[in-house]
Structure 1
Amino acid sequence: MLRKLSLFSALLALAFSASSQIVSTSDTAFGPSIPTLLVGGANPTTSTLSSCADSLVVQIPANRWVYSVDVQYNMLAANNGWRSEQFSYLTCTTTGNSEASISQGVGNQPGLQTYSRTGLNIANGATTTGTLVFRLDAFRTWGNPAGCDTAVNKVVHGTWVVTVHHGPMPTCFPPTGFQNNWVMSNSAQFSWTTGGATNWQLKYGAVGFNPTSAGTYVSAASTTKKITGLTASTSYDVYVRDSCGTGNSSMWVGPVTITTLCSPLVAPYLETFSGTAWTSGTGTNNINNAIDACWTRDPGAPTGNGGGQPYAWGTKAGPTPTNNTGPTADHTVGTPAGKYVYTEASAGAYQDEADLISPLMDISGLSNPSVTFWKHMFGQYTGTVALDVWTPTNGWQYNLWSQSGATQTSSAAAWDSVNVPLTNLANDTIRIRFRAIRSFDVTGDMALDDVYFQNGPTCPQPTGLAATNTSFTSASLAITTGAGTSWQLAYGTPAQTPGAMAKTVVSSTTPTLSGLTVGTDYAMYVRNICGAGDTSGWYGPLLVSTLCSPVAAPWAENFDGTGWTGGTGAYNANDALATCWFRDPTAGNGPGSPYFWGIRSGATTTGNTGPGADASGNGRYAYTESSSGLPGQVTTLRTPPINTSSLTTPELSFSYHARGNSMGSLGFQVWTPSGGWSGITTVFSGNQPFFGNNAPWLDTAFNLPAADTLMIRFVATRGSANQSDMAIDEIEIKEAPACPAPTGLTVGTVTVTTASLSWNTGGATMWNVAFGPTGAVNLATFNTASTNPYTLTGLTPGTTYDVYVRDSCGSGTSSLWLGPVTFTTPCTSVVGPWTENFDGVNWVASTHFPAGGIA
């Protein structure tokens, strides 16, 4: 394993004559115990400041050079407090430097915890006065009262000791940034930044050795050095120092601890994961499984079946623990006794990465090196697996192959194979890495078996197939290939194998597959043709759905038809879209699901967000469920194709609801056959301006491009938290009115007699504004406005008003009214002296609250 050292982790003694001149000065805080500050939410860090921190002054002679600092203290957890709830760190306020990371106690029980850290560089360098001030910040994450307290967790009085190691200014400064670049079975490369010298010395030895008296010297003439002659599967400590001349060297910097890899395996080589070193785990998270010692993984195996466990590769025999994902058996023998490796998606979180790295593999004996493996990827939330390769010369090369999403249709479905050419790496020693990225939920177990380093086929399979555009009867494709001059495509139903599908040969890597059926789901595969009788294996499937036949405009959708099913519960489970509508991602059903569009009737389950009913008051609507998903996640909802050839000026109109303090944003895109998808037109961003719990639906309209056929894709972006349930309803595509209505009516500044209004014009330069007490507006009586914004005057103090606006396009042509928007003018101020005894006729006693409550 590798460990990078960016700071001094140990500062030993000066070499030669200076070594006897470094001395240590300590001081102890003898005052009362130091309180801890209660911190809620996220754990504190070294940027968190405690209001009850204590200070300690260490006085050393002036003009000395500080080489390092040690700190020691005890913390006591009592009164149901735990040691694991303690956090603390040291700062040198004289230099302004703090420790790189905060220290946390260990153990979910009370008791005494001793802290001791050495070699800190927070005060390093010259000090002209010799006065060094240190501050200890201590925190707890549980235990009232709020603020600073010593009853639950504290720093014990008389135990805080700071020791400063100092001496004369060095004449040869140590290097910095010492790190390991790579390690193999018998060698390792290191690099560093010079302290000023042009020559350096390294020392290596067994872990824990003292470089001043032991170890093996290696000289270096550059700041990158390869150490050879190491023993395979062995741990070493390595140090470096500047060499400034005869008898003048810096302090040793280090150690960087490495473990050399196993001796290289020689290809051809097959790993079936069936040896005794591979041990299957148990429980929901496949805990305590084991892998071969010459393979490495990051992170390691989960150790518990509860939450907070890492997403990781592990060994498994038989089916994975979660239903509806993973294989039922391995590929090698096909029985529950066989073993394979897989990622357990019951652990971890969205976008977590798990790495599985092979031993060193000598492929110099292969004339056409490649790696073949078998994969099983089944589950609604299947993530991504990618293959990377490492060489000493180039380091890691990413994404030689990758696959996202399910490629199997059931746990019992057959495994499929992948062959990845390594032709540009011939005569080398390599490692490969399977890099898995978790998706949203637990049904995303991805499995590998039978990894074979071998000479590749004379015609390797393609490594990618994607759809660049889909129409009613065709699909434009892009093939990624490293061989072949022509390619065979297979296409059919998702349940078919390539052998049973229709096939066609193409001569371009960007072909268009025509003659498909409208509104149909297809699976597509591709293989290389390298010559007569020389074809590769199939790559795929790629799942493609052709567009449905267009519906004719004028067109409307209110989500109340029989094809729509409303969901239930906090995550809107078991809803369904009507035929020819499409959402991405698909529906969720739990807290691990993505942010998604769903269909619902009635109110959403999260308070203070979402509508209470649909726009008509008695039906269904489409909305985004923000109880799942992550901030900034995007979800889309696409309409069927719509034939607008009968419309001169097509208009899209719909109602929307955007109530929520963490509301995200909504926009839409327009697809046409000639232009594809347009950019996003913004509908709103943030919480709609309404105070109360029953925000109204708002109406909006947009002109659309003239085209024979188009589709609309609503694009929702989740806000920062779960109050981001936005909704749409009553969608129409029809002929735009001669006088389009305005949108976005808002009320600005309100005084006792005036109110400022603004809106987005539908295109006119004159407008009608109607207003009056709530529920009593006469739309036949209105003001004519020639400015936007516009100010209403002559209002009555302490009155609630409704206001409407419409475009006035001239010649008696007006748009529909937009509104109402409601506001209340404030009361006029009273003149003192003033009294109130709550006995007037406008005060009504409550019968709901008990005596002493507030009505």
Structure 2
Amino acid sequence: MKIKLLLLLLIFATGFSSGQVVVQEDFNASTSLPTGWTSNGSGTSTQSCDGNSFRRNVYNTGGNSTMTLTTPNQVASSNGNDISVSVDYKVVDWSLATSPTPANFGTLELQFSIDDGSNWTTFSTIDSSNHIVSNTCALISGIIPAANVPIGSDVKIRTLNTYNSGDYYMYNDNFTAVQLGACLSPMALDAANITSSSADLSWTSGGSGESSWEVEYGIDGFTQGAGTTITPATNPVSTTGLMSNTDYDYYVRANCGAGDYSEWAGPFSFTTLCAAEIPDYLEDFSSYIPGCWVEAVDGDPVNGPSSLGSSNWAEEEFAHLGSGLGGVNINIYQTGDIEWLLSPQFDLSAGGYEINLDVAFTDYDDTTQGVFDADDDVRLLYTLNGVTWNTIVQWNAANGNTPAAAGETFNADLSAITGSNVQFAIYSDEGATASGDKDFHIDNFQVRTIPSCQEPTNLAVTNITATSAT
């Protein structure tokens, strides 16, 4: 499933919004400063509070006597209410970053500015009287009074550490500022119970106490205002009538009542599942990976693959016979290598179907007949529930059914399989010993109604002379 933005925490990584001050920055996206932030420290994951933190070595009263970490200037953002601010911090010795620094290190202040940093006002201070001496992070917090941030005013906030004694690292992390009384955007958007035509959308309230929301969704990349709107929406909310195998985006905002809405949160992206195919179906592998096919690795032929998403199956001319033939193959070479190629699901509930595909077995990148090692194992499998897999055919040395190098057609009656979500897979296992280098090929994968008159298969010509052939 594709996730474009997980909201990073609330609204933006740097936290801009119109009509309310919101900052939620954990600095975990990078050790570089987020856009618009400034600091004379540097980002690090070493002995950090959580993920990444910003720190500076502060050790004298000269050029290394302070550390600052400053938010972007949020232009005309104040709604006129109090602003609650908190920042994680710790002070540890420079020579041993696990050793806490005594309380006389200096001061750490929270300051704000309404003129883009020309003037700063302190609203909370850590000093010798309240510093927590620890090698783990503590909290500095405070309230910017509403009277100091009138409606429509700019707001910029910073930490300021000023040196007194010692040689230490000052760490800052998890910078949060929320304007009280604001209608806050939801966070932690998610999608669950995704099917080919529906999904349940959910999120976490931003903390405004709201019980109603507005949701807008549409095909990936849609322009807000042109999507489908659900209002009022509950949390979670179900969407139906979606198209199968399609990428969707959705946005959500809180309805705090009396016409007060939060900023939109999103987009969050999800992909609907493929709908079950109803035969007749043909895949000629003219492009790879075909829609709704899935690669996978590891696992076993009874319990299925253990890791979905990629494998060593690859597009290749069938049986290496020339260009324009399409097909895919798996190179059986590496010890213990287990590779899967999974088909879409099929609705076989009507009954009377068969599976039909071309197979070939050659030496690696050659037309020479391949020979199975004793522990090589290639199978055509099916599952009714995605949990337990069943073998339709097993190609190996013991069964003596090695496919021809030039290719042959395999056919199996599926009349006894009448599930509505049947999935097939080609499974390849090199085994514990690897002594060969072979390619197993497939092409023209069909699930179809059983023909009333089967076409001939496995055509071959022998005993060719100048005037005759068998």
Which interval holds the TM-score relative to the shorter structure? Answer: 0.3 to 0.5
Larger Rg: 1
Alignment TM-score, normalising by the size of structure 1: 0.29
